[in-house]
């Protein structure tokens, strides 16, 4: 079989020739890649020279390049452009890759070489990056079973294989339930309140399905505005309950048993490795360092946010009763009432802002801001392939005009694409190799009458993911394993969340916030309202994020053995952060892909943790100027380019000159004076 995955791509920048790659190419290629990688590792192990950093640690970095590339392509496609064939291939590939990882991590002879270097190397003779890599390699083995006996190693292999497959199935189930639902409306009175663009998208969806009227899905660009603007309360309820039933229905997509088994396996794996819990295992390699520290951090935020949230909820209840005739608020009312209250208090309607945020201009704006801050220049290259016709590919050049990265952008929902937004990498950065980065979002599509117009929340989402992309594109390390977003998990959100701050600054907004019809710059009064809106219901928003964090920790902390029923467990955990009732037919956990499909298990708190870092860091930009060259250069040199080459607190203090202050976040959110 002529298999393009078996060779280095003969394309510009070794970009991916997606059109030549078929699902049936992956498994033969991965098997061959694994065989070659194991041969290369065996060569490292069998050499007769005494172990050194160069002949062992450094040599390992050059093994398995094609394997890393091809598995990245497969799993990225499974998230952004999947099919039954891709899903089946991914299920088949997962145990192969897990077995390979275990074959490496449980290779006793290899570990003995690494351990000898780790215990005997004169660290003063190594650069900070080499010291970090050596420690990471040693811990990568010791924390993944190298110190176990043979029977324990075999058990670890079984656990890891099952875990990987269950996580894939979890995501497939959520996607299947999302795609299976549609709300078909034929009466115009039932879509009262919805923005014209949303109605137009729903009408075009109905036409594509050869149906009359409007069809609404659970995709975020449809679901969120429906819940925010639809006047028909019963239809909001129907949409809300459908969203909450994903993975929690009496069908083949039910995720409850998968969650219980994943939690059990993660705990069993941690205990096998000598840890009290999965959280203890994970947090050992985080800035937070322990479950107790995370609990204290979250609890401190809860105590400061809850009084504000109570007042905000009471204000919603009073407003809903007096102005909307709602005596009891349910969860399908919260977004609707919140938007009405915001309009009344701030005289700000989200729909007034959307005409000033056409996607094309927002994207050009974030490119412009990256140029002003870091000297990057973006040029679309239509000759380079994407994996779908909607995907665009950009060459990224640095301030010297040299090629610096490839950037793929993929902005609209599709049947084969999971919800949410994320940044990922197709090729990492290392010495002599520049990265290929991708941003994937689910924004409102253009219609026959309007271009893609973003809500302000979608604007901040684009800036957020672009911040992650900058972390990848500006990486400048020797080793790919320490490059870009390969950092402590509770540090990875700093570059993304700090970028959101530019969305609130007049000097930045005037670069791109222009009316799609008149090209008029967004009025100053709207900018003032945007800034005021940044404080709107911050107590409730903080409680929502804390709820996810509490729930995550409850599944992975020291008391997970007591969990027998997913629904009753999450109801107890979330009771203190929710003001509306519980709904027996709904579950948050069964669609909580961040922790059961993605990499955020025992780490969801990192969003709030990183908000502390970003609020504190952005204070320096505010003090010096949001486009200050010295400050942006320092952020690039000490944070964005350094990846995980040193401890994140060392890097942060080098940029900021001090440790982060949690008060910066509370002040920005308006929760303290």
Q: Which residue intervals of 231-358 are DSSP H helices?
A: 233-244, 256-272, 278-283, 291-319, 331-346, 350-353
Residues paired with 436 in a beta bridge: 406, 427
Q: How does DSSP assign 620-670, residue by residue?
A: HHHHH-TT-HHHHHHHIIIIITTTTSS-HHHHHHHHHSS---THHHHHHTT
Q: What is the per-residue DSSP string for 493-544? A: THHHHHHGGGGG-HHHHHHH-B-TTT-PBPPHHHHHHHHHHTTTTHHHHHHH
Q: Mark whether 559 is an active-site residue.
A: no
Name 514's bridge partners: 521
Q: Where are the domains of the chain?
A: 4-147, 162-180+246-347+538-673, 181-244, 355-534
Q: What DSSP element (H or E) covers 614?
A: helix 606-624
Quote the pTM value. 0.88
**Residue 360 and residue 268 in contact, taking contact as beta carbons nearer than 8 Å:** no
What's the burial of 512, exposed, middle or buried (CB within 10 Å: 0-12/13-18/19+)?
buried
pLDDT recorded at residue 60: 95
The number of helices, as runs of H, and strands, as runs of E, in the chain is 27, 7
662 HSE (CA, 13 A, CB side): 9
pLDDT of residue 620: 96
Q: How would CATH label the architecture of 162-180+246-347+538-673? A: Orthogonal Bundle (1.10)
Spans of the chain below 50 pLDDT: none
Query: 579-602 pLDDT, tens per residue?
Result: 999 999 999 999 999 999 988 999
Q: DSSP secondary structure string, 35-57?
A: HHHHHHHHHHHH--SPP-IIIII
CATH of 4-147 given 1.20.1050.40, 1.10.4190.10, 3.50.50.60, 3.30.70.1060: 1.20.1050.40
- Cα angle vertex 581, ends 580, 584, to 5°? 140
pLDDT digits (tens, 9 = 90+) for 437-494: 999 999 989 999 999 999 999 999 999 999 999 999 999 999 999 999 999 988 999 9
Considering the candidates 81, 458, 465, 611, report the single residue annotated as catalytic. 465
pLDDT at 1 (0 to 100) = 64
Residues paired with residue 433 on neighbouring β-strands, in sequence order: 430
**Domain 355-534, CATH 1.10.1370.40 — does that match?**
yes
- Count the neighbouring beta carbons within 10 Å of the beta carbon of residue 372: 16
C-beta of residue 454 within 8 angstroms of C-beta of residue 221? no
Mean pLDDT of the chain: 95
Equal CATH topology for 4-147 and 355-534: no
């Amino acid at each position: 079989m002529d298999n393009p995955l078996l060779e280095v791509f003969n394309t510009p920048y070794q970009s991916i020739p997606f059109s030549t790659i078929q699902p049936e190419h992956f498994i033969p290629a991965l098997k061959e890649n694994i065989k070659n990688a194991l041969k290369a590792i065996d060569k490292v192990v069998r050499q007769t020279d005494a172990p050194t950093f160069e002949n062992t640690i450094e040599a390992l970095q050059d093994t398995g390049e094609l394997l890393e590339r091809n598995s990245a392509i497969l799993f990225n496609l499974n998230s952004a452009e999947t099919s039954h064939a891709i899903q089946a291939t991914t299920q088949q590939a997962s145990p192969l890759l897990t077995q390979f990882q275990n074959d490496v991590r449980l290779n006793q002879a290899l570990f003995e070489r690494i351990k000898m270097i780790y215990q005997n190397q004169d660290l003063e003779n190594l650069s900070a990056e080499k010291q970090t890599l050596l420690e990471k390699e040693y811990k990568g083995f010791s924390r993944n079973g190298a110190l176990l006996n043979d029977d324990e190693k075999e058990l670890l292999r079984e656990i890891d294989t099952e875990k990987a497959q269950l996580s894939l199935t979890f995501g497939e189930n959520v996607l299947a339930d999302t795609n299976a639902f549609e709300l078909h409306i034929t009466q115009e009175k039932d879509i009262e309140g919805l923005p014209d663009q949303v109605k137009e998208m729903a009408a075009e969806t109905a036409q594509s399905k050869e149906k009359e009227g409007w069809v609404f899905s659970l995709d975020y660009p449809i679901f969120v505005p429906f819940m925010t603007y639809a006047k028909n309360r019963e239809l909001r309820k129907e949409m809300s309950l459908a969203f909450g039933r994903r993975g929690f229905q009496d069908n083949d997509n039910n995720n409850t048993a998968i969650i219980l088994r994943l939690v059990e396996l993660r705990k069993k794996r941690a205990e096998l490795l000598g840890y009290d819990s999965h959280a203890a295992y994970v947090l050992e390699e985080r800035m937070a360092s322990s479950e107790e520290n995370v609990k204290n951090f979250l609890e401190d935020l809860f105590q400061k946010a809850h009084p504000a949230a109570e007042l905000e909820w009471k204000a919603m209840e009073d407003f809903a009763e007096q102005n909307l005739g709602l005596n009891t608020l349910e969860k399908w009312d919260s977004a609707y009432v919140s938007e009405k209250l915001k309009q009344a208090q701030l005289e700000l309607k989200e729909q007034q802002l959307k005409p000033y945020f056409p996607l094309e201009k927002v994207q050009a704006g974030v490119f412009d801001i990256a140029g002003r801050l870091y000297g990057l220049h973006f040029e679309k290259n239509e000759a380079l392939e994407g994996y779908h016709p909607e995907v665009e590919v950009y060459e990224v050049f640095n301030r010297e005009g040299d090629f610096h990265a490839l950037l793929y952008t993929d902005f609209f929902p599709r049947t084969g694409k999971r919800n949410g937004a994320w940044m990922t990498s197709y090729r990492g950065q290392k010495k002599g190799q520049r990265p290929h980065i991708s941003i994937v979002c689910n924004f409102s599509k253009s219609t026959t009458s309007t271009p893609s117009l973003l809500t302000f929340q979608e604007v901040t989402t684009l800036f957020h993911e672009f911040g992650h992309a900058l972390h990848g594109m500006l990486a400048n390390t020797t080793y790919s394993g320490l490059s870009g977003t390969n950092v402590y998990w509770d540090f990875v959100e700093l570059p993304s969340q700090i970028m959101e701050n530019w969305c609130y600054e007049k000097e930045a907004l005037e670069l791109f916030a222009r009316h799609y019809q008149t090209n008029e710059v967004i009025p100053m009064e709207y900018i003032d309202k945007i800034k005021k809106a940044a404080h709107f219901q911050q107590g409730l928003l903080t409680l929502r994020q804390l709820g996810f964090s509490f729930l995550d920790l409850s599944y992975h902390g020291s008391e997970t053995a007591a969990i027998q029923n997913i629904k009753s467990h999450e109801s107890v955990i979330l009771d203190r952060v929710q003001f509306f009732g519980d709904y027996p037919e709904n579950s948050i956990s069964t669609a909580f892909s961040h922790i059961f499909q993605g990499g955020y298990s025992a780490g969801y708190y990192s969003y709030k943790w990183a908000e502390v870092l970003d609020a504190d860091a952005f204070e320096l930009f505010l003090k010096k100027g949001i486009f200050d060259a010295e400050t942006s250069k320092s952020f690039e040199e000490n944070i964005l380019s350094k990846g995980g080459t040193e401890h994140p607190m060392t890097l942060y203090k080098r940029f900021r000159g001090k440790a982060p202050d949690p008060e910066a976040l509370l002040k920005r959110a308006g929760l303290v004076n």
